[in-house]
A and B are shown apart, each in its own frame.
Chain A
Amino acid sequence: MPRAKLLPYVVAVVLWAALPGLVSRHVVDLLIFAGLYTIAGLGVSYLLGHCGIVCLAQSMFYGIGAYCVAYFSAQHALPSVVAFAAGALLSAAIAFAVGWPILRLSGHFLALATLALGVIAQVLFLEWDWLTGGTLGIGGLPKLQLFGWELNTPQRFYYLVWPVAVLVMWLKRNLTHSRNGLAMRAMRDAPAAAAVAGVEIHLVKVRMFVLSAILGSLAGSLFAHYVGFISVDSFGIDRSISFLLLAVLGGVQTTWGPALGALFVTLAPELLSRFGEIHAVLFAVTLVIAVIFLPQGLGGAIEQRLRRDSVR
C-alpha cells in the first residue's frame, strides 16, 4: 500500500490509542459500550444487509453470553474462557434449534418470530431468578484477566474491546468477498435464481443466524466482565432494538457502518442530555432525520462520498 494511502489509517489508530487519555472516564465508558454494541450489532447488520433478515432476538444471545459469565466465572470460579465458550456454544445451539424452523418464514413474519424469541428470553431471564438473579441481578462478577493483566479500569477494557470489534469487522469483510458472501446477497436479491445457481438458501440462513448469535453472546460475555453486575434490565427488547437501530443507522451494506451506528446510539443521547427533559424527543427526531436523509446509513453515505471523490 502506498504511504499516502496508509496515512489516514495511522492517524486513526494514533487517535484511537490516545483517546482514553483525552476524554473523561465517563466518555471512555460510553466508547466501550459502543465497542460492545458494534460486536453484537455486526451480526444483526449482516443478517439484515446480506440475508434480508430482520433480527430482534439479539438481546437473548447478549443475555446468554452475560449469564454464562455469571454462572461459570462467578458462581463456579472457572476460567473466563470456559464462560465465553459456553455462552457461544449455548447461543449457537439455541440459534440452530430455533432458527431451523423460523427461518422458513420471511419478511415481516420472520421479524415477528425473532421479536417473540426476544420477548420469551426476557421473560425467562426474569422468571429463572435462581439462575439470573431476576430483577435484583447478579453482582461481583470477576474482572477479565488477559495474559495476567487485569482489565480493571475502563481504559484497559477499551484497549481490548475495540481490537475485538475490528477483528469482527475484518471477518465480516472477508465473508462479504467470498463464495458464501456472494451467495447470501444473491438469495436476498432473487431467491429463486439463487436456488437455481445451487445456493442452499435455508442452510445458509441458519448458519448466518448461528454466527450472529455467537457474536451477540461474545459481546454479552465481554459486557458482563466489564460492568461486573448484570440484571435482566440489560437484556430486554429495547436492547435488541438498539442493535437493529445501530445496524440500520450505520448502513447495513458497509463493513464499518455498525461501528458508526453504535457510536451514534451510545454518544448521541449523552450529547443531547444537556438539553434536559426534551433529550429523548431530540434523539428520536435525530433518528428520523438520519433515516430520511441517509437511507444507506452513515457508513453508506460516507462511502458514496468517498467513491465520488475518487472518481474525480
Chain B
Amino acid sequence: MSRALLSLRDIHHSFRGLHVLKGVALEVPTGAFVGLIGPNGAGKTTLFNIASGFLDPDVGGVFLDGTDLMKCSVQERSRRGLVRTFQTPQVFSAMSVLENLMIGRHKQTRSGIVGNLFRSPRSRREYQTAKQAAMAVLERFNLSPVAEHKAGNLPAGQQRMLELARAYVGEPRLLLLDEPSSGLNNDEIAQLRRVLNELNGEGVTILLVSHDMNLIEAAANIHVLCFGEIIAVGSMATLREDARVREAYLGL
C-alpha cells in the first residue's frame, strides 16, 4: 500500500458541548478512491470542513503528503492540491460556465491587480491560457453546449458537473467530494461515476462522501462514520456483512 496522501489524526470536535467528532482517524492513500458513509449527523461534513480548512478542530491533526496543514488557510491547502466541493453546489451564479472554469485556474496564475488594470503581457497571456484550459475540459464534463450560459441558470445536475470540472481544471491531487450525487437522476449519477473513475485512473486521489449506494460502490475502500467515530472500514461487500454497520447505517 502506498503512503497516505491525506491523513486525519485523532480529530475531536464539539459544537457547544455536543461532541460531534470523537477521535476520528482516517487515511487516504495516494491514488486511492476512498468512500465515507454514515447516517445524517454522523459528522461527515464537519470532518470535510476540518480537512479543507474551513474549521479548526478542537484536537487533532490534518496532514497532506506528510505536511502538517493546521496552519494553512483554505487557499493554501488548495494551492497544495487539496480541493473540495460542497453539499449544496457552489457555482458562481452570475458568471458564465466558461468563466466559472477559468476561476479553477486562479491558483496556477500570478498576475496582480495593477498588471490586470494595464493589460500587461502576462495578464493577457494568463487570461488566454486559463480560457484554453477551461475550454479543454468542457467536453469531458458535458458542458460544451452550455459554455456561455449563466451558471446559476443550470439545472442541479449540471451545476454538480460544473463544480467538479472547476475543481479538475485546477489540477488537484486530492478531491474531497461532499454528496456530489444529490439532486442528480440515475443517468447523471452513472455519468458522474464514470467521470470519477476516469479521474481516479489518471491519478487524482478521491475522498467521496455519499448516501448513494450506486456511487459509493465505486470506492475501493469505505469508512463508516457513526456518531463521531469510525466504526468500520472495508469494501462495500464486507461492510454489508458487518453487524454494527447493518445496525447503525444500512438498516438491513
Contacts and interface: CB of A to CB of B under 8 A. Distances in A.
A175 B123 CA distance: 10
B84 A196 contact: yes
B93 A183 contact: no
Contacts, number: 98
Interface stretch (A5-13, A120-128, A197-205, A220-228): A197-205
A289 interface: no
B118 interface: yes
A254 to B, nearest CB: 13
Contact of B74 (A174, A180, A181, A196): A196
A174 B116 contact: yes
B127 A177 contact: yes
A175 B94 CA distance: 17
B214 interface: no
B31 interface: no
B251 interface: no
A262 interface: no
A185 interface: yes
B116 A186 contact: no
A193 B107 contact: no
Given A174-B119, A182-B106, A183-B106, A194 B92 contact: yes
Interface in B20-76: 52, 54, 73-75
B95 A185 contact: yes
A194 B103 contact: yes
Interface in B167-214: 167, 170
Contacts of B94: 185, 188-189
B113 A180 contact: yes
Given A193-B90, A198-B78, A179 B109 contact: yes
Interface size class of B (residues with CB under 8 A): 35 or more
Contacts of B126: 179
B228 interface: no
Of A174, A177, A186, most buried by chain B (CB within 10 Å of CB) is: A186
Given A198-B107, A211-B113, A178 B123 contact: yes
B117 interface: yes
A194 B104 CA distance: 9
Contacts of A190: 90-93
A182 B98 CA distance: 11
B92 A181 contact: no
A193 B52 CA distance: 11
Given A180-B113, A196-B74, 12 more contacts: A178-B116, A178-B119, A179-B111, A179-B116, A180-B116, A185-B94, A186-B100, A186-B103, A189-B92, A192-B86, A197-B107, A198-B107
